[in-house]
Structure 1
Amino acid sequence: MGSKDQDLAASSGGGGGFFSSIAAGVRSWGTAVHKSVNGMVGYEGLEVINPDGGTEDAEAEAMRGRWKQEDRDSYWKMMSKYIGSDVTSLVTLPVIIFEPMTMLQKMAELMEYCELLDKADECEDPYMRLVYASIWAVSVYPAYQRMWKPFNPILGETYEMVNHQGITFIAEQVSHHPPMGVAHCENDHFTYDITSKLKTKFLGNSVEVYPVGRTRVTLKKSGVVLELIPPLTKVNNLIFGRTWVDSPGEMIMNNLTTGDKVVLYFQPCGWFGAGRYEVDGYVYSAAEEPKMMVTGKWNKFMSYQPCDQEGEPLPGTELKEIWRVAPTPPSDKYQYTYFAHKINSFDTAPKKLLPSDSRLRPDRYALEKGDMSKSGAHKSRLEEQQRAEKRTRDTKGEQFTPKWFNMTDEISPTPWGELEVYEYNGKYAKHRAAVDSSNVAEETDVSSIEFNPWQYSDSPSQ
């Protein structure tokens, strides 16, 4: 069999997916191999988690990874005092752990396989709509397994994207403490709206990331509104050992119009990697009856099959693959996909790019070009400018006001806390229509535009 056939066979009974989920649950007695480093003075309580379940002892595993020994030591001493804290914006982190992308751009990565939403909109079957839409939500997880941290956006920073599947995407950083980003995306088939506020819990050598946010998709043909509740993500071995990412738990997508829903379970990584990447679940009717089985591996492919009221495959049906992860560039430094490179590229930038756009950040751009020293210097300068803006705002008694989104009176409950909801105000569409219909020429060197998200024109630049 070819690799595709082998993967499908594994999903239907040979090594992954729904039919092996019970067996995986039995063999995954706990999460991956947890090892505490004992007998190392100054490292009491340090936990190293090996996803492969190797036989090497904890101290040997701890010495592996991207860090030099002296860097491990210094950052452990600096960070260990924050154990148990939310470190989302608590400390200044070195650029060595960053990738050349901001959180606003990371929000746009969910659009890589947005043709799945197009298919959901075109689909007449209400349960197949949820199959396509939920697998679209799963499709971003290969991007989440990268071992690098995106830059926190500057307050007022934006990100625009066009020239992909007919979409227009705009995101804006609307709060610095706590960090909050908002995005709106639209094409002929759907609208996508998200308010995102990350919350973290630092555990020493790992961090749990809680997606406090509200994501809604409206399919234009049927008019149905879908709401997504993703699982948490845990980044393991931040300082000691080989960094890796897991997202165990439930993903729920609710059809707010009909009451139908999807519940997908992301299996935790077990001993010797058992269960890692596996996703299994069902599309349910409003009456809580299973209608479709959804199964696969979030880093490779996802499939579906109609099922009966007991959740068993319907006779005469077969498991069908409807999404497979796209090929990636070989030996890419940041494990970027081709689409991730498009996100950073000016090829996906619209005419007359906003000067607040993430692509124009000098620290991000310097890191992309491989100049870590310059990136760090620019990052420090931008952070100081942001602090100076806050001092000016406080002195004037003013509040920051986003340009493209309005804060609503709605407070949305989430599994990890309440969320202040922002809504798209429509001004960006008018701005973009005016620019696109004008005689403004394309910038000859768009990268030469100075990054400017600042509220005050006299903000200090030194």
Structure 2
Amino acid sequence: IALQPRQQSETSSHLKKKKKKGQVQWSTPLIPALWEAEADDSGDDDEAATPADKSELHHTLKNLSLKLDDLSTCNDLIAKHGAALQRSLNELDGLKIPSETGEKLKAVNERATLFRITSNAMINACRDFLELAEIHSRKWQRALQYEQEQRVHLEETIEQLAKQHNSLERAFRGAPGRPANPSKSFSEGSLLTPKGEDSEEDEDTEYFDAMEDSTSFITVITEAKEDRKAEGSSGTSSVDWSSTDNVLDGASLVPKGSSKVKRRVRIPNKPNYSLNLWSIMKNCIGRELSRIPMPVNFNEPLSMLQRLTEDLEYHHLLDKAVHCTSSVEQMCLVAAFSVSSYSTTVHRIAKPFNPMLGETFELDRLDDMGLRSLCEQVSHHPPSAAHYVFSKHGWSLWQEITISSKFRGKYISIMPLGAIHLEFQASGNHYVWRKSTSTVHNIIVGKLWIDQSGDIEIVNHKTNDRCQLKFLPYSYFSKEPARKVTGVVSDSQGKAHYVLSGSWDEQMECSKVVHSSPSSPSSDGKQKTVYQTLSAKLLWKKYPLPENAENMYYFSELALTLNEHEEGVAPTDSRLRPDQRLMEKGRWDEANTEKQRLEEKQRLSRRRRLEACVPGSSCSSEEEKEADTYTPLWFEKRLDPLTGEMACVYKGGYWEAKEKQDWHMCPNIF
């Protein structure tokens, strides 16, 4: 009996050694956040067992239970007979008459025999139990090892397929028979796709599978003299094209304003840290990216609030639009401005820091840019930021952008939700539009690259002028150039006035429409509109990147200045965020530690707010509770009369507080 515990201990030790050798490898996947909303709700999903596995497990547990019952019975018998043997031995010790010794010794022997038999039965039952446990332990080890090998094999297969995919792409690009880009004198574009075909609405749409024939209008550039004759004979009263040269032509060539403040022109070079994105993201397929905590290695040293402010880099387009007397001409510049906000994303595949709840960012550049901008993180789940811009040139812009993002396995979809408002004070023209979908490709293997796709409709709610913009998704098999954007500006009657064309990473041009007519139906029954236009005029051209930009996260000149230390800002300003500052300095290990501290501090504050929510209130979900218990400091929720949605609008007070340096109302978030 004394040997059995040692056998069991040896067996247990033997199993532990097997685990150490790798025959059984239990692992909990590390679920790290591309929008990083600090993972307080994230966790691994449980995998459901199959019916066959459940049946086998039940049968095994039943057998083990029966063996345990045998052991229990033997234990009871040993206790019973052991007590009887003890009594007999006590009686033997008390004997004084030798004649009785024989009978008592006989009884002792009988008891001892019964005890020995029961003990042997218990030993046999323990041996059977251990043998059964070892057999099933080995079986489970083999099953787990097989599943692990299958998983590794599947990952290797996926990577191999991705490499073959890239090889085919390179071979196709190098093929001698690949069609060239269309000439400048004949360009094709496309308007909005029919409802239900919008690539933004379908989560499973693969953006690189765009059809080759996706055009719905054709632009033909003709001579100016013929155009003016045709225009005059048609009786239209459009503004003469030559009169718009001073407004639309060379709009992007405006020199940048001089500033009294010396701005920095570089930041520390990005350290060369190697980290495999796929090794982290493969366990996050289908998850909301704002609930996946990720290290700063995948970030750039700017917050989402600063990235929103970057949209103002080409603010001079709106400054020029103020002077337009024609609303359709003004629409061209507004459309160019909306496209220009994507020009900084072509090389910027790193994600910005997800702001802390209550975090702010100001851009006070009245001296050189003629504007003041304020952003505030007004929601944490989902991540949402409110933005307000005032320009001394006569326009204001405001928006509330909520980021919705999903990892699809091959690519990441980033869908900004919310309307952007732009108002010109003098004319009262009020423009509203929404952002397009961004897609990050080559998550599995290869070089990451980003694409913009979908449709944008810009509406002037005063005149009902409209601009339909389409961002063509990149296709390996399309004759269209990469990153192409096309569009048409039309008035309230639906008459086209300008055709827009270009790319979202380089430039945009506009061409005045002098005549339009439907083309003959194609073989598939589709009919396109043919626009006869004057020669194109440049609306916007991207500024060149600073020297050494590839080692500075591909930041533009404006982006390099956004995180520069500045006196007098609110204590919640992104410039004061410690983990972001440490990352910018290249101290990434310290930045990761600091980031974890800030996330835990934010989770603690969130739990306190949720616990303080009044029981029985209308809040049904945690997100509703959070929205109900948190109030933004500089913005307030209002009903947008144009979109019918609730949105955060600037309520004032920030710049007055800055002037007084009175920040007592600001929360301690860092």
Q: TM-score, normalised by structure 1?
A: 0.76
Counterpart residue type for residue 165 of structure 1: M
SS in 2 for 1:42: helix
Q: How well do the aligned residues superpose, as a CA RMSD in angstroms?
A: 3.0
The separation in 1 between residues aligned to 2:582 and 2:434, in whole angstroms, is 35
Instruction: Specify the alignment match of 1:182 in structure 2.
Output: 386
Could you say what secondary structure the match of 2:386 adopts? strand
Structure 2 CA distance for aligned equivalents of residues 404 and 307 of structure 1? 45
Instruction: Check conservation: 2:273, 2:297, Cα contact below 8 A.
Output: no
1:76/1:344 CA distance change after superposition, 3 Å: closer
Counterparts in 2 of 1:307 and 1:51: CA distance versus 1, 3 Å:
farther
Q: Which residue matches 1:147? A: 349
Q: Of the candidates 379, 401, 409, which is equivalent to residue 595 of structure 2?
A: 379
Cα shift readout 1:259-304 (whole Å, capped 9, x = no counterpart)? 1011111111111785311111111111111101111122111111
- Is residue 55 of structure 1 aligned with residue 171 of structure 2? yes
Distance 1:136 1:453, change over 3 A: farther
* Per-residue deviation, 1:219: 1.0
Alignment partner of 1:199 out of 392, 404, 407: 404
Higher helix content, 1 or 2: 2
User: For residue 318 of structure 1, what is the amino acid of its counterpart?
Assistant: S
Equivalent-residue separation in structure 1 for 2:642 and 2:432 (angstroms):
12
Evaluate the alpha carbon distance shift between residue 119 and residue 99 of structure 1 in structure 2; reply closer, same or farther with a 3 A threshold.
same
Shift of 1:370: 1.0
Identity, % of aligned positions: 28
Distance across 1 between alignment mates of 2:477 and 2:543: 26
Distance change in 2, residues 1:193/1:327 (3 Å): same
Deviations 1:103-152 (A, max 9, x none): 00010011000110111111111111000011011111121221110000
Could you say if the C-alpha distance between residues 258 and 371 of structure 1 is closer, same or farther in structure 2, counting changes exceeding 3 Å? same
Alpha-carbon distance in 1 for matches of 2:499, 2:286: 38
What's the CA shift for 1:230?
2.2
Post-superposition offset of 1:239: 4.7
Gaps of 5+ in 2: 1-150, 173-271, 517-528, 614-627
Alpha-carbon distance, 1:401 to partner: 1.3
1:402 aligns with 2:632: yes
Per-residue displacement from partner, 1:344-367 (whole Å, max 9, x unpaired)? 223xx5x51101001111111111
Distance 2:350 2:422 in 1: 28
Alignment partners' CA distance in 1, 2:483 and 2:592: 34
* Partner of residue 295, structure 1: 501
Partner of 2:446: 241
What does residue 431 of structure 1 align with?
657
**Residue in structure 2 matching 1:231, options 420, 436, 455:** 436
Q: Which residue of 1 aligns with 2:415?
A: 210
Is the aligned partner of 1:277 residue 2:483? yes
Please list the CA deviations of residues 294-334 of structure 1 after superposition, one character each: whole Å capped at 9, or x if unmatched: 1112211111111035265656x321112110011233221
Match of 1:93 among 294, 297, 304: 294
Query: How far apart in 1 are the matches of 2:273 and 2:588?
Result: 15
Question: Offset of 1:343 from its aligned partner?
Answer: 1.5
Kept in 1: contact 2:438–2:450 (CA 8 A): yes
Instruction: Please tell me whether residue 341 in structure 1 is matched to residue 545 in structure 2.
Output: no
Q: How far apart, in 2, do the equivalents of 1:423 and 1:76 lie?
A: 36
CA contact (8 A) 1:261 1:284 kept: yes
Q: Decide whether aligned partners of structure 1 residues 419 and 372 sit closer, same or farther in structure 2, where only a CA change above 3 A counts.
A: farther
Letter in 2 for 1:290: A
Work out the CA distance in 1 between the residues paired with 2:324 and 2:591: 46
Conserved? CA contact 1:205–1:240, under 8 Å: no
Q: Displacement, 1:373? A: 0.7
Distance 1:39 1:401 in 2: 48
CA distance, structure 2, for counterparts of residue 39 and residue 374 of structure 1: 33
Deviation (angstroms), 1:78: 2.9
Instruction: Assess if the C-alpha contact under 8 Å between 2:378 and 2:385 holds in 1.
Output: yes
Distance 1:214 1:183 in 2: 11
Q: Relative to total residues, which structure has the larger strand share, 1 or 2?
A: 1
Q: Secondary structure at the match of 2:314?
A: coil
1:29 aligned residue: none
Letter of the aligned partner of 2:499 in structure 1?
M
Which structure: larger Rg? 2
In structure 2, how many angstroms separate the alpha carbons of the residues matched to 1:52 and 1:184?
47
Residues 185 and 192, structure 1, Cα contact 8 Å, conserved in 2: yes
Counterparts of 1:75-114 in structure 2 under 5 Å?
A: 75-79=280-284, 83-87=285-289, 89-114=290-315
Give the direction of change, closer, same or farther, for the CA distance of 1:125–1:363 in structure 2 (3 Å limit): same
1:43 CA drift (Å):
5.3
Give the TM-score, by structure 2 length. Answer: 0.54
Residues 400 and 287 of structure 1, relative CA distance in 2, 3 Å threshold: same
SS of the equivalent of 2:155 reads coil
Mapped partners of 1:71, 1:270: distance in 2: 26
Residue matched to 1:307: 513
Aligned-pair distance for 1:434? 4.4
Task: Measure the CA separation in 2 of the matches of 1:51 and 1:184.
Answer: 46
The partner residue of 1:257 within 451, 462, 465 is: 462
